[in-house]
């Protein structure tokens, strides 16, 4: 298993982790088997958004002897009331539910305390304006009960607001090529809707969120890697073609700022299948060809950082140059200074864009028709 730094939290999270949403209806032996198999592959990060005491206990018992090996995302605002899940900002209810999680996980701290599921900018504005809920989050942090504060959202506008507020150190965000084509919404259901003729290319707000995360050193853990299974099914995929789990994971893990994909496994076999991301061949990881040749092909001319254009005649990592260019360019276009962190990353590359000799060898290899020579020239103009 490879591990990545989760932005400024400095945690080294496994690229592939454990989302637990499908464990609610499993029995204790099944949950234990899935957790132990995940551990055997080196997974060390899990998301626990569920409030159901039964699944919390099963998970807590499964990692009782290995708690120190795991980074847990625990959600503040996911509560269990009258036998069902209730999302709330009522501080007293949040406290009861969070104390319950600590007890069922046999632990005195949660690594990542998540402001639970905010998709409405108005709701987030209210939270950030202060009040008992935010006070409780601060209290947990000040007391060391949570090591870092994060937020889970499907809406890039909320992600951007959270980053700009300075209140969070990381994001849990839904990342997949289907959602990257959809406009921001505060209704998760619309993300599953009919794309029809709407697919136009990368959604600008989502691009901006990736850029802002990099700039602020905010790491992203990923949910909805398979778009709720739609991307695995040619009938339901907005692209009209099925991707494999490993291809979807590679798409998410090659977005800026993304550190880990947390997959909801329903079986031990699914754990093995997703863990095979580690060591997968370039051919198996190749989401780009599938998307570029899909019946609905929305990304023409935009770099997806897939790396298909390699090798460059002079050794330039074209994907990385393009990634740093995209990250910096939006800021400069707004009249802001060149972001120093991104410029540092660019200049640390072994070969930079000024080494491009315009031989043209790369362009026919790009499945998305990116004008690479032009982009190299633009990168030189931007970074020097």
Binding interface with ligand SF4 (CB under 6 A): 288, 303-309, 312-314, 316, 318-319, 322, 356-362, 366, 368, 370, 372-373, 376
Q: How far is the CB of 322 from ligand SF4 (least distance, A)?
A: 5
Q: How far is the CB of 302 from ligand SF4 (least distance, A)?
A: 7
- 238 versus 367: smaller Cβ distance to ligand SF4: 367
Residue number with CB closer to ligand SF4 (72 or 356): 356
The contacts found for 36-40 with CB under 8 angstroms, 24 or more apart, are 36/62, 37/268, 37/271, 37/272, 38/265, 38/271, 38/275, 39/63, 39/66, 39/69
CB 327, CB 256: distance < 8 Å: yes
Backbone dihedral angles phi then psi of residue 130, each to the nearest 5 degrees: 105, 165
Nearer to ligand SF4, 166 or 364 (CB): 364
The least CB distance from residue 355 to ligand SF4, in Å, is 7
Strands 219-223 vs 84-87: parallel, antiparallel or unpaired: unpaired
Can you tell me which residue has the tokens 């304006």?
129
φ/ψ of 263, rounded to 5, equals -100, 140
**Looking at beta carbons only, is 190 or 300 nearer to ligand SF4?**
300
Spatial distance between the Cα atoms of 51 and 149, rounded to a whole number of angstroms:
19
Question: Which of the 8 DSSP states describes residue 294?
Answer: S
* Residue (195 or 287) nearer to ligand SF4, CB: 287
Which residues lie below 8 Å from residue 4, measured CB to CB, with a gap of 6+?
Answer: 12, 13, 15, 219, 259, 260
Closer residue to ligand SF4 in complex, CB, 250/308 = 308
Minimum Å distance from CB 181 to ligand SF4? 15
In the DSSP assignment, the letter for residue 84 is: E
Q: Which is nearer to ligand SF4, 40 or 314 (CB)?
A: 314
CB 226 within 8 A of CB 179: no
We find the least distance from the C-beta atom of residue 255 to ligand SF4, in angstroms, to be 13
Task: Give residues with Cβ within 8 angstroms of 227, minimum separation 6.
Answer: 176, 178, 179, 191, 192, 237, 248
> Minimum distance from CB of 351 to ligand SF4 (Å)?
9
Least distance (Å) between residue 231 CB and ligand SF4 = 19
Residue nearer to ligand SF4 on the CB measure, 33 or 380 = 380
Sign of the alpha-carbon torsion through 150, 152, 156, 161: negative
CB of 371 to ligand SF4, least distance (A): 9
DSSP 358: -
């Amino acid at each position: 298993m490879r591990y990545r730094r989760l932005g400024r939290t400095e945690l080294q999270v496994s690229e592939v982790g454990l989302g637990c949403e499908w464990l609610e209806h499993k029995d204790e032996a099944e949950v234990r088997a899935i957790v132990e198999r995940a551990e055997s592959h080196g997974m060390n990060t899990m998301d626990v958004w569920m409030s159901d005491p039964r699944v919390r206990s099963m998970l807590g018992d499964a990692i009782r002897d290995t708690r120190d090996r795991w980074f847990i995302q625990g959600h503040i605002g996911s509560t269990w009331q009258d036998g069902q899940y209730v999302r709330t900002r009522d501080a007293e209810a949040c406290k009861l539910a969070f104390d319950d999680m600590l007890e069922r996980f046999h632990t005195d701290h949660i690594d990542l305390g998540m402001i639970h599921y905010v998709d409405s900018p108005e709701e987030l504005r209210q939270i950030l304006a202060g009040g008992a809920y935010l006070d409780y989050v601060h209290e947990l942090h000040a007391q060391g009960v949570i090591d870092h504060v994060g937020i889970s959202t499907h809406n890039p506008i909320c992600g951007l607001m959270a980053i700009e507020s300075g209140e969070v150190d990381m994001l849990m965000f839904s990342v997949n090529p289907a959602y990257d084509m959809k406009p921001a919404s505060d209704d998760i259901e619309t993300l599953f809707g009919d794309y029809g003729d709407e697919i136009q290319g990368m959604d600008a707000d989502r691009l901006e969120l990736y850029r802002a995360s990099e700039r602020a050193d905010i790491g992203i853990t990923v949910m909805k890697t398979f778009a709720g299974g739609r991307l695995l099914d040619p009938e339901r995929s907005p692209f009209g073609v099925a991707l494999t789990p490993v291809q979807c994971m590679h798409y998410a893990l090659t977005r800026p700022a993304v550190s880990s994909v947390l997959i909801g496994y329903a079986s031990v076999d699914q754990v093995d299948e997703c863990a095979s991301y580690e060591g997968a061949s370039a051919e198996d990881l190749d989401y780009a060809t599938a998307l570029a040749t899909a019946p609905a092909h929305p990304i023409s001319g935009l770099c997806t950082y897939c790396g298909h254009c390699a090798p460059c005649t002079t050794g330039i990592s074209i994907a990385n140059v393009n990634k740093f260019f995209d990250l910096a360019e939006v800021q400069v276009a707004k009249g802001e200074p060149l972001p120093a962190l991104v410029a540092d990353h660019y200049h640390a590359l072994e070969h930079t864009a000024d080494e491009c000799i315009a031989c043209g060898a790369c362009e026919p290899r790009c499945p998305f028709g990116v004008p690479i020579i032009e982009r190299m020239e633009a990168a030189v103009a931007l970074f020097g």
